[in-house]
Amino acid sequence: MSSATFVGMPAFPDAARGATGNAQLRHNLRKATHTIRGKRGEVVEELDDWAGLREAGRAVKDRTLRHLDHYLERLEEAVTAAGGTVHWASDADEARAIVTRLVHATGEREVVKVKSMATQEIELNNALEQEGITAYETDLAELIVQLGDDLPSHFLVPAIHRNRAEIGRIFRERMGAWGVPAPEGLGDDPRELAEAARRHLRQKFLETRVAVSGANFAVADTGSMVVLESEGNGRMCLTLPETLISVVGIEKLVPSWSDLEVFMQLLPRSSTGERMNPYSTVWTGVTPGDGPQEFHLVLLDNGRTDTLADRVGRQALRCIRCSACLNICPVYERTGGHAYGSVYPGPIGAILTPQLQGMQGPVEKALPFASTLCGACYDVCPVAIDIPEVLVHLRERAVEGKRPGPEKTAMAAAEWVLDDPRRMHLAQRAASSLRGAVPRRLPGPGAAWTDTRDLPDIPERPFRDWWREHARGGEEQR
């Protein structure tokens, strides 16, 4: 039932062409991104020390990454001491195998899931399905995606590309196949839709014995896990089952408990634009008599250490998945998340995906170019990831080893001309005398550029000549 995958998607330029032609999609995205931008702006404005919080957030993450081996060992020790079991997965295959084995060991065939980017990244649901285990997504947006056999297009609101009418239709048509069907005559009102989701999932929450989650933060010092959410589906999954399996990327660590005073301010305001999200759960290993009595932490590498090895690119690992960069991005606003061909869309996805997956494939190679380098993403990033810097760095890597093409040859020629005032002047005069012969549109490969732009007019005479005349005249008038 959940066979949707990003594998085999077209590269960004092709995918974006299709997406931008979809008027409904563009309408949905524009409305959603503008709403959330406004909300974020208001609650960030409210804190006069935002710059200080942002700098602290950046520094805490940098400290963690610079000594990640130390903090990972510390986390493992703390989780184990608190009654949890720690597993290590170097790639998606290993992580899927570990989770599948742990679920099998419980004897259960169903698991409830809290929305988690890490489990999407490793395509866990498909792997579980092949092993005869059904994974029920419980976040409302994830439920919409799962029922619609669709793909997520946003970190926080995976169904941001769907409007209420589409969601109503998906619920009416698909809920029955997964369990409790939608109520008779279900309409499109968000309130009604939320109520339908509550009824659909209620028994699953109360009866399912195994849950799978991710974590927003893992505190190395204490072994505490933190999950932020809104609906209560997270609390249900993290509290009621007997066994809890959390798949967590190794970059999710923070050194100590007190560091949360920074991130519990940065994350909610940056992501949902709220002063605080409705619910957060913190748990440390196993607590007798409260919550799951078996806790497994699966630490996931899957390309993160490769990213860490790149001294410019490693800053992408600071990301706390707030999605502020998606919401502000003029490119994301027009193409939506699917065009990025990965579970990590938007500006952060454009630097994260090529680094996590390597830059061999056409999708990964195209991603660093899926940006105008306007820098809005850097401005809103709560941990100050300089996304444009990494994009440019990855563009260099994408073209590394290529034979000098026409662009490079042209640049070399331009350098020769621009380097010398005399050559420059001669070139300008030559251009002016030929201005009548220059076409509006370029021929050959240059045509792609002029498809959407006009060539600038070449002035009748070079500015230098004009200046020589007028500067002299000006002095005479004085």
Partner 1 sequence: MSAPLGSRERVLAKVRAALADVPRGEDPGDAPVPRDYARTHRQGPALDLLVDRLEDYRAQVRRVRGAELPAAVAEALERRGAARVAVPGDAPGEWFSRSGAEVLRDAPWEDRVLSVSELDAVDGAVTGCAVAVAETGTIILDTGEHQGRRALTLVPDYHLCVVRARQVVDGVPEAVERLDPVLPQTWISGPSATSDIELERVEGVHGPRTLEVLLVE
Query: Closest separation between CB of residue 275 and partner 1, Å?
Result: 4
- Rule CB under 8 A: say whether 469 interacts with partner 1: no
In the list 53, 339, 383, 387, the residue contacting partner 1 (rule: CB under 8 A) is: 53
Check: CB of residue 36 under 8 Å from CB of residue 273. Answer: yes
- Rule CB under 8 A: say whether 320 interacts with partner 1: no
Q: Given the rule CB under 8 A, which of 27-35, 349-357, 397-405, 423-431 is the region that contacts partner 1?
A: 27-35
User: SS3 helix, strand, coil % of the chain, rounded to 5?
Assistant: 55, 10, 35
Q: By CB under 8 A, what part of segment 382-421 binds partner 1?
A: none
DSSP annotation of 290 reads B
- Rule CB under 8 A: say whether 356 interacts with partner 1: no
Pick the closer one to partner 1 by CB: 139 or 294.
139
In the list 79, 127, 170, 201, the residue contacting partner 1 (rule: CB under 8 A) is: 201
Check: CB of residue 25 under 8 Å from CB of residue 336. Answer: yes
- Rule CB under 8 A: say whether 281 interacts with partner 1: yes
- Nearest CA to 171 out of 158, 160, 184 is that of 184
- Both tokens assigned to 161: 């590309």
Cα–Cα distance measured from residue 368 to residue 350, given in angstroms and rounded to the nearest whole number: 5
- Rule CB under 8 A: say whether 163 interacts with partner 1: yes
Query: Closest separation between CB of residue 180 and partner 1, Å?
Result: 14
- Rule CB under 8 A: say whether 63 interacts with partner 1: yes
Q: By CB under 8 A, what part of segment 211-270 binds partner 1?
A: 219, 222, 224, 230-233, 235-236, 239-240, 250, 255, 257-258, 260-262, 264-265, 268
Q: Given the rule CB under 8 A, which of 195-203, 209-217, 391-399, 419-427 is the region that contacts partner 1?
A: 195-203
Cα–Cα distance measured from residue 107 to residue 111, given in angstroms and rounded to the nearest whole number: 11
Secondary structure of residue 454 in the 3-state scheme: coil
- Rule CB under 8 A: say whether 295 interacts with partner 1: no
Secondary structure of residue 242 in the 3-state scheme: coil
Residue that is written with structure tokens 């490079």 in the block: 408
Q: What angle is formed at CA 203 by the lines to CA 171 and CA 233, rounded to 5 degrees?
A: 70
Total site size for partner 1, rule CB under 8 A: 101
- Rule CB under 8 A: say whether 352 interacts with partner 1: no
Strand 279-284 versus strand 224-229 pairing type: antiparallel
- Rule CB under 8 A: say whether 280 interacts with partner 1: yes
- Rule CB under 8 A: say whether 186 interacts with partner 1: no
Secondary structure of residue 342 in the 3-state scheme: coil
Cα–Cα distance measured from residue 36 to residue 421, given in angstroms and rounded to the nearest whole number: 51
Pick the closer one to partner 1 by CB: 297 or 370.
297
- Rule CB under 8 A: say whether 342 interacts with partner 1: no
Cα–Cα distance measured from residue 51 to residue 30, given in angstroms and rounded to the nearest whole number: 28
- Rule CB under 8 A: say whether 164 interacts with partner 1: yes
Query: Closest separation between CB of residue 245 and partner 1, Å?
Result: 14
Residue that is written with structure tokens 């300089």 in the block: 386
- Nearest CA to 206 out of 242, 244, 175, 247 is that of 242
Query: Closest separation between CB of residue 273 and partner 1, Å?
Result: 9
Check: CB of residue 216 under 8 Å from CB of residue 270. Answer: no
In the list 19, 25, 68, 356, the residue contacting partner 1 (rule: CB under 8 A) is: 68
In the list 75, 92, 98, 343, the residue contacting partner 1 (rule: CB under 8 A) is: 98
